[in-house]
Every structure is written in C-alpha cells, then in structure tokens.
Structure 1
C-alpha cells in the first residue's frame, strides 16, 4: 500500500466522519462559499433608535416601531441584504476591481457601504464587467467547539475498521458468546435512529449540541411571510 493510498483512505474516513456528525447534529452547521449580485434599492430610509419616521403615500408623517419581526429588512442605496446566515464577507468587487475591506461593514446579514451607497447592478452583463458588482462571502453556522476533535475520533474508528484494527464502531451482531463470556452489542441502525454512534464521548457531544434530536434545522412558515422566517 502506497503513501498516496493511505492519504486517500484517511481523507475518505475524515469526509465520512464529517458527513455523519453533520447529520447527527441536525444538519445545522457548516460554512460554504457563496456569491451574490445584489440590487440595492434607491429609496432613502431614515432610521432612528426606538422609532422611525417616513412619509406615507398621502404625504402624511407615519410612525413605525423600529424593531425586527419575523423578517427584518432595511432598504436604501447604502445597504443590501445577503442570503444568510452570513459568516464572513471575503471580497466585494465592483466593475471587476476588489474594494478595500474598509469600504463595507457587515451587521448580521446586512452589508453597508461605508462610502454612503452601493452602485447600481446591471444583471444583463456577466460579473466583472462595467456596471456590475459582486459580493463573495461565507454562509452558514460555524461548527461548535469540539467538532474537530469529534471528527478526528470518529475518523480514527473508520480508519481502524478499514485496516482491520481494533474498532469501537458497533457491528450488526447484537449478541456474542465466546469462551463462556456473553456480550450484547447495539445495532448501528438503531443507534443512528437515536442520533448516536455508540462511542460514549462522541455521543455525549452530540447530545449537548442536538438535545432534541433534530434531523434538520428548524424553521417557521407563515402565509404572511411565504419565504419563511
């Protein structure tokens, strides 16, 4: 067996461990690169702490509480909403030229132009052409503390199983008697249904991260907010 083969096999063990722990923790965590081409609104909004004022359709002053409901949006030429959750903005490119990092400020999923306004967006042209601009960012939730160690522990057990070593992963055999000693092992299919692996330290971590045994991130839907909240 070559070193290249060992490296490829170990990478497969790590990838498998990541996939399984991602599923067992409710498919909630992970950060992926995304690219957005926002179209900023040209409407100017004035926001004040606690309350905001704006001119209604009949040119009357209207007051509205400045809080966020199920979906909080702010419009105007100086701010755009990025599909989130946003972990980090890595680059903003206007007309094919990267802006300095102090040209923007990120607050939650809102990206503000520190210079006052974002340029218009020409979606009829490919990114990088004059009249276009692009935001590159990382989206998702960072894995919680201990995730790297748990991946390493589980990947090691897969490595041992692949190479015939001593492995703590449960087998399908539920009971075994050898030399007068009886052993009862858990069925891995049953373990997976209970969101566990059969390895105590990993299962303790999974229970702390996903105490309600979610299979996917929770969401709330409403006819008033068809895109979800």
Structure 2
C-alpha cells in the first residue's frame, strides 16, 4: 500500500487549449484535480512529493540472522539469546553492520521514494540537517556520532519527550512530461463538460461510445473506448505516451519487498 490514497495536491498544469474566457476557474480546478487523481493511479501511485510524518522503529540486529561469528553479520560484543522462533542467536550490542560498511550504521528505513527530509525531532528538539543523511533506498542514517532511540513512547503526542518523529516528502517529482500529460487530460475533461453550443464544445478528443460511423458510403472505424480504458490508457497521445514511458507494465502500485524482520514506521492518521 502506498503512503497516500491519492495525490496530496493537484498537479501543476500548463493548459494549451482554447477555453471560454468567461469559464469559472472552479471548473478548471475541479477537472485539474480529477486529472491528477486519474494519472496518479494510472502511473502506479509513485508521484509526489507529498509530506508525511512517521514514528519509525530503529533497525535492530536481534532477529536478523541465526547464530554466527562470520564477518558481515555484526560487530562488537556478542550477547547470546533465544529468538522468537526458538533459535539461538548472537546479538551485537553496537547496532547493525551493512554489507559495505566497516563500522556500525545507526539507520531506519523510511517508506519511499524519499524526496527530501523536512525535519527530524527527537525528544521535542529538531536535529540539525548535518546530523543525518538519506541513503537509497530510503535509509535515514545518523551521522553525528549519536544513534536513533531504540524505543519511544507511542502513547505520547508527537514532539513530546520520549518520542521521535521524521517528517519528510515522499514520491517522485513531476517533470515536464508529467505536466504536459496532466495538462492535456485537464483540457479534454473541461472541454467534455462544456454545455452544448459553448465555444470550444465539440473539440474534446476523449474516446466516446461510438466505434463505427457510416455516412454517405464512407465507413470510419474508431478504437473501442472500453478496450483503451481497460488497458489503462486514455486515447490521448501525450497522456498515453507518458504512461507507457513511466508505467509500461501498467502496475497498479509500486513494487515492494516485505520481510517479517522489517518494522514498518507508525503513521498517525487521525486526529
């Protein structure tokens, strides 16, 4: 599941169609939002950037590997213990060691893609940006010699003593191609809803319900709109070219790999 159920804000548009001068801006705003929601879903729900605040769990080595003294499992003093699966393990009390690091890394995994970090608050105080960094894919690494808290008071409100939160923006940034696509779809949605007789009405290029037209001996075959929509396309050239580029396999959501050892950060959704 993505962190959002829809785009946090309407996507930027640069309309290049002829619309009535007296058209209510609220109409454009409405269809801009509809176009943004539609393309956000058709493109795999990866676009942002959208702000989110999480209360993460620090990465731990305690349940990560069976008993072993080989390099790469961990470093520092060893504490034998029995894991939740009944197996004996050795826990490193110094943190976790990645496969390419000579020392311990104090890090947490943020659901991404991570665009940037807005703030990191520990015990009610914001850390300076120089105290951490982001390593792909979405690893928040402590760099000031300290380490992230092992646990926190989840019952306490965000920013209270004994808590720590990360506010960041996730999602891929919109490029010029994405703006062109959402602009074209917004234009066509607006044109499709204009009353009959309005200037610009009839110029909509969205697929309709007609697949064949016969007039004066001339027969015209048109694409079946149900097939176009079933394939996750719109029938608009700029929109479909962008969708085929960023989501060629028509994924409904970003691909994810889940592990029973990974503790997902807690996100407060209400109030």
**Same fold? TM cut 0.5:** yes
CA distance in 1, matches of 2:225, 2:263: 37
Matches within 5 A, 1:56-75: 56-57=78-79, 66-67=98-99
The one of 27, 40, 56 equivalent to 1:22 is: 40
CA distance in 1, matches of 2:261, 2:121: 32
1:112 equivalent in alignment to 2:141:
yes
Residue in 2 that maps onto 1:185:
222
1:21-64 Cα offsets, whole Å, 9 max, x none, are: 22332334343221112344688xxxxxx95652545699x9xx
CA distance in 2, matches of 1:91, 1:4: 44
Contact 2:44 2:251 in 1 (8 A): yes
Task: Give the alignment partner of residue 165 of structure 2, picking from 134, 143, 150.
Answer: 134
The CA RMSD over aligned residues, in Å, is 3.7
Question: Is 1:149 equivalent to 2:186 in the alignment?
Answer: no
SS of residue matched to 1:92: strand
Give the counterpart of 1:208 among 245, 266, 271.
245
Q: Is contact 1:221-1:227 (8 Å) kept?
A: no
TM-score of the pair, normalised by structure 2: 0.63
Aligned to 1:199: 236
What corresponds to 1:171 in structure 2? 208
Alpha-carbon separation, structure 1, partners of 2:126 and 2:263: 32
Q: Which has the higher strand share?
A: 1
- Alignment of 1:8 with 2:26, yes or no, is yes
Q: What residue ranges of structure 1 are gaps of 5+ in the alignment?
A: 44-49, 69-73
Shift of 1:140: 2.9
| Deviation by residue 1:151-192 (Cα, 9 ceiling, x = unmatched) | 001111111111134111110111223455433322322111
Deviations 1:106-125 (A, max 9, x none): 21222223322246433232
* 5+ residue gaps, structure 2: 1-20, 62-70, 81-88, 195-200, 265-271
- Partners of 1:99 and 1:157 in 2: how far apart? 47
After alignment, is 7-16 or 196-205 more displaced? 196-205
* Rounded Cα–Cα distance in structure 1 between residues aligned with 2:60 and 2:42: 44
**Partner Cα distance (1:198, 1:189) in 2:** 11
Name which of structure 1's ranges 179-188 and 5-14 shifts more when overlaid on structure 2: 179-188
Q: Is the 8 A contact 1:160 1:166 kept in 2?
A: yes
Quote the Cα distance in structure 1 between the aligned partners of 2:188 and 2:176: 21
Question: Equivalents in 2 of 1:202, 1:79: separation in Å?
Answer: 39
